[in-house]
Structure 1
Amino acid sequence: MTSSSTPPPTPTGAPTRHTPLRGLTARGRDEAHRVASPLELFFDLCFVVAIAQAGVQLVHAIAEGHAGEGILNYAMVFFSIWWAWMNFTWFASAYDNDDVLYRVVTLVQIAGVLVLAAGISKAFESHEFLIVWLGYLIMRLALIAQWLRVARSTEGAERTMALRYAGGVLLCQVGWLGLLLLPEGGRPWVFLVMALLEMCVPPFAEKDHPTSWHPHHISERYGLFTIIVLGETIAAATVAVKSGIDEHDALTDLLPIAAGGLLIVFAAWWIYFVVPIHGHLRSNRQAFLWGYGHYLIFASAAAVGAGLEVAVEQTVGKADISTLAASAAVTLPTALYFLTVWALHSRFYKVGIAQQLVLPTTALLVIVCTFLGDWAVFAAGIVSALAVATGVTLTARMVAKERGASGTSGERATSPVA
């Protein structure tokens, strides 16, 4: 909506919502009350479509006894999904001005991820990456357009940074043509090289001028996407259990899997959100490591849902794999999730060796649960729940000890509860 009158002043860096088109300049890193916008939430929900497709194909690959090939394809496809989401998220944290052109370009990026999602099945089944590449191309061209808008609206080191981003993204997109042109045996190497080059673009572009991403906003965006991925895990497991009950009348056999899976997801949510991670994001070096590490968090969280589907299919006789393989499809990504969340999140807020060892020990015990046969998933869920209970207990004791020592028992504790 346009207005003939002059819009009222707004806080520094905050977007005004009265003009359809304006310069794309940086928002303030210290901007108060910065939260995810409705457009960002919509963007995330559309990305879940692609994640769901990748999970479905991973289930099929594992259930048919092609776990190695399925995991490799999953890693490649999930990288394209995650990297496109991450590039948009950090860009939006610094430059979202919410004008008409910004919204339109973002909707183009959403269209790109839907095209990518449509090509995931062919990428898995016949290793044809053309549609995936085209979807990625649409998203990346839209991102390049955004960076060129920044370059046009700024000057000096910031303009140079924006041009580096635009050029780096374009060159990497050309490099991904190797997935289409090279023999099938060389594609994993193309993926490895191009993934590394993609991750080198932000440090190179920002070496002289870092973007003004907002710590609270970034931590919220990652947290919201984690919730969405965990929600997709619950949805996938629910559909699998319902199918097993409807088609095979196997409620009794599936209850341990359903209960264990629910406990795993609850624990996964708890341990991720128990610490105020925005306080750790104080520099680009910390932020890059934290942001890049979420590839493993998101991928493993989504893979837990796929693993639960595999466990259900194996239990009702639809998957031609062993109980051990079906159990590993759940326990291994669960252990990876716990270990990665500890490395990126929790360890910065744990006090003492006992608190530090809770999640690494939990990851190890979850792996041991793989060998418990039909009760493996349930046992992994119990171990996950006990990890949360242990963390809560240790923290409560620490807080009580500190209160007793300081004589401030009436004050409210501010420490994380797990």
Structure 2
Amino acid sequence: MAGILRPRGQTAQVVPIELFFDLVYVFAITQLSHLLLDHLDLGGAAQTLLLTLAVWWAWMYTTWAANYCDPDHPAMRLTLAVLMLAGLAMAAALAQAFGGRALWFAVSYVVIQVGRSAVVAVATRATPIGLTFRLILAWHVAGGVLWIAGALAGGTAQAVLWVAALLVEYAAPWLGYRVPFLGRATTADWAIDSDHMAERVRLFVILALGESILVTGLTLARGEHLSVATAAAFTVAFLSSVAMWWVYFDRTAEEAAERVAASDDTGRLGRSAYTYCHIPIVAGVIVAAVGDELSIAHPLGGSTAGTVLTVLGGPALFLAGHAMFQRVVFGVLPAGRLAAVGLLAAAGLVALVIPAAVPPLALAVLAALVVGGVAVLDSRRARTA
């Protein structure tokens, strides 16, 4: 597999095969939002969170692999095509991952993680990064055993084993993928092309926001009668998506990529900023999309606890994640975002006391005003600076 590694020192471009690969995850995000909508309780939220973490991990590891290996190399193109097939099967199983398609989901996920790691470990075996991918492969095999065992066990054992599998996989980077007799990797071994990594993560955020736009349009299209309240809820949901886009893309995303590129340890900062801190950002957008659907479908009816938690909780989770991202990259915890999260949390607590008296449209308007206010303050600070 000669020539599979990207030349270091040259800015890597996102290529069409990577965009094609992302289409599978458009479907996965849709499946996750529908899963939460159909099971809007504590158990459903826990299942959706676990599956969201798995989907994100599958996509993120492929992004890291493509940061080192040229996606346009024939071997990587073929690998990405196989990963797309497995990813499509994984996404199709999400709705019944804790039911009849548990094994289907687990096998698809393990094929993605183990298969990709094996290909890259072999392709880079004679290079410094090769050791890291051999260690990653070992950890993914260990996690894969837990995924398959959980699917076969079913019931409570399935949940326990799948949580254990996620803990193993999420702890691995912090532990340097330490394996007895093979050693461990350090973040200094993971130097990344920050421009490519930032661009890939920005595209995933766009995919998540696209799901919000899709849900907004489909919910309006399915409605039999277009009332003033429905039109208002539709408009507010769209403006909320615009506000989240503005908060994320106005300046921070580009400036963060520059800061990571200037870091002495791009692997460490990239791991924290992109691999971990973006989890609440993406999850917040997915939860907000569910809240949009609920507010458009029943704008003036009484709210439920699920409506309150999705309409207000989604934006709060997004803003909290973005605050973490800024703290990790710039070393500053933005007070404005913390105040906005606090306001949304306080409003949510009040609404949960009397949910039936608070219409979803009112919650949606509040969420849009808070996120929009953060976007306006960011723009004013940027102009002043």
| Pairwise same-fold verdict (TM > 0.5) | yes
- Which one of the candidate residues 164, 180, 192 is aligned to 2:163? 192
Query: Aligned residue for 1:123?
Result: 97
Deviation at 1:111, TM superposition (A): 0.4
Task: Give, in whole Å, the separation in 1 of the partners of 2:330 and 2:186.
Answer: 29
Root-mean-square deviation (Å): 2.5
Query: Are 1:96 and 2:75 an aligned pair?
Result: no
Query: Aligned residue for 1:403?
Result: none
- Which one of the candidate residues 280, 291, 306 is aligned to 1:307? 291
Moved more, 178-187 or 289-298: 178-187
Matched position secondary structure for 1:176: helix
Q: Is the 8 A contact 2:71 2:77 kept in 1?
A: no
Q: Is the 8 A contact 1:112 1:137 kept in 2?
A: no
Query: Aligned residue for 1:54?
Result: 32
Q: Percent identity over the alignment? A: 21
Query: Aligned residue for 1:24?
Result: 4
Query: Aligned residue for 1:182?
Result: 153
Q: Which runs of 5+ in 2 are unaligned?
A: 178-183, 352-357
Q: Letter of the aligned partner of 1:268 in structure 2?
A: M
Sort the Cα spacing of 1:377 and 1:26 in 2 relative to 1 into closer, same or farther, 3 A. same
Query: Aligned residue for 2:198?
Result: 219
Task: Give, in whole Å, the separation in 2 of the partners of 1:46 and 1:338.
Answer: 26
Q: Is the 8 A contact 1:43 1:110 kept in 2?
A: yes
Q: Letter of the aligned partner of 1:31 in structure 2?
A: Q
Query: Aligned residue for 2:354?
Result: none
Task: Give, in whole Å, the separation in 2 of the partners of 1:206 and 1:310.
Answer: 46
Q: Is the 8 A contact 1:172 1:197 kept in 2?
A: yes
Deviation at 1:73, TM superposition (A): 1.2
Task: Give, in whole Å, the separation in 1 of the partners of 2:95 and 2:2.
Answer: 40
Query: Are 1:251 and 2:227 an aligned pair?
Result: yes
Task: Give, in whole Å, the separation in 2 of the partners of 1:346 and 1:162.
Answer: 29
Query: Aligned residue for 2:135?
Result: 164
Task: Give, in whole Å, the separation in 1 of the partners of 2:4 and 2:336.
Answer: 45
Q: Is the 8 A contact 2:121 2:133 kept in 1?
A: yes
Q: Deviations over 1:231-270 (max 9, x none)?
A: 11111121112212xx2x1421223322221222111111
Q: Between Structure 1 and Structure 2, whose CA radius of gyration is higher?
A: 1
Q: Letter of the aligned partner of 1:260 in structure 2?
A: V
Q: Is the 8 A contact 2:208 2:282 kept in 1?
A: yes
Query: Are 1:341 and 2:322 an aligned pair?
Result: yes
Q: Is the 8 A contact 1:158 1:209 kept in 2?
A: no
Q: Is the 8 A contact 2:212 2:289 kept in 1?
A: yes
Q: Is the 8 A contact 2:90 2:108 kept in 1?
A: yes
Task: Give, in whole Å, the separation in 1 of the partners of 2:46 and 2:62.
Answer: 25
Deviation at 1:350, TM superposition (A): 8.8
Task: Give, in whole Å, the separation in 2 of the partners of 1:61 and 1:188.
Answer: 16
Task: Give, in whole Å, the separation in 2 of the partners of 1:61 and 1:307.
Answer: 13
Q: Letter of the aligned partner of 2:81 in structure 1?
A: L
Task: Give, in whole Å, the separation in 1 of the partners of 2:44 and 2:281.
Answer: 18
Q: Letter of the aligned partner of 2:94 in structure 1?
A: I
- Which one of the candidate residues 365, 379, 386 is aligned to 2:373? 386
Query: Aligned residue for 2:355?
Result: none
Task: Give, in whole Å, the separation in 1 of the partners of 2:71 and 2:293.
Answer: 41
Q: Deviations over 1:105-162 (max 9, x none)?
A: 11000001100111112125x364111112213312431332232344x15x543323
Task: Give, in whole Å, the separation in 2 of the partners of 1:105 and 1:385.
Answer: 41
Task: Give, in whole Å, the separation in 2 of the partners of 1:334 and 1:314.
Answer: 19
Q: Is the 8 A contact 1:151 1:163 kept in 2?
A: no
Sort the Cα spacing of 1:56 and 1:140 in 2 relative to 1 into closer, same or farther, 3 A. same
Query: Are 1:265 and 2:220 an aligned pair?
Result: no
Moved more, 43-52 or 258-267: 258-267
Paired residues, number:
360
Deviation at 1:336, TM superposition (A): 0.7
Task: Give, in whole Å, the separation in 1 of the partners of 2:323 and 2:114.
Answer: 35
Task: Give, in whole Å, the separation in 2 of the partners of 1:388 and 1:25.
Answer: 39
Task: Give, in whole Å, the separation in 2 of the partners of 1:158 and 1:305.
Answer: 39
Q: Deviations over 1:291-347 (max 9, x none)?
A: 212122112211211221123334487xxx844531321110110101111111378
Sort the Cα spacing of 1:208 and 1:45 in 2 relative to 1 into closer, same or farther, 3 A. closer
Task: Give, in whole Å, the separation in 1 of the partners of 2:142 and 2:328.
Answer: 37
Query: Aligned residue for 2:307?
Result: 326
Task: Give, in whole Å, the separation in 2 of the partners of 1:24 and 1:350.
Answer: 36
Deviation at 1:391, TM superposition (A): 2.4
Q: Letter of the aligned partner of 1:149 in structure 2?
A: V
Moved more, 139-148 or 164-173: 139-148
Task: Give, in whole Å, the separation in 2 of the partners of 1:148 and 1:346.
Answer: 33
Q: Letter of the aligned partner of 1:385 in structure 2?
A: G
Q: Is the 8 A contact 1:36 1:217 kept in 2?
A: yes
Q: Letter of the aligned partner of 2:309 in structure 1?
A: A
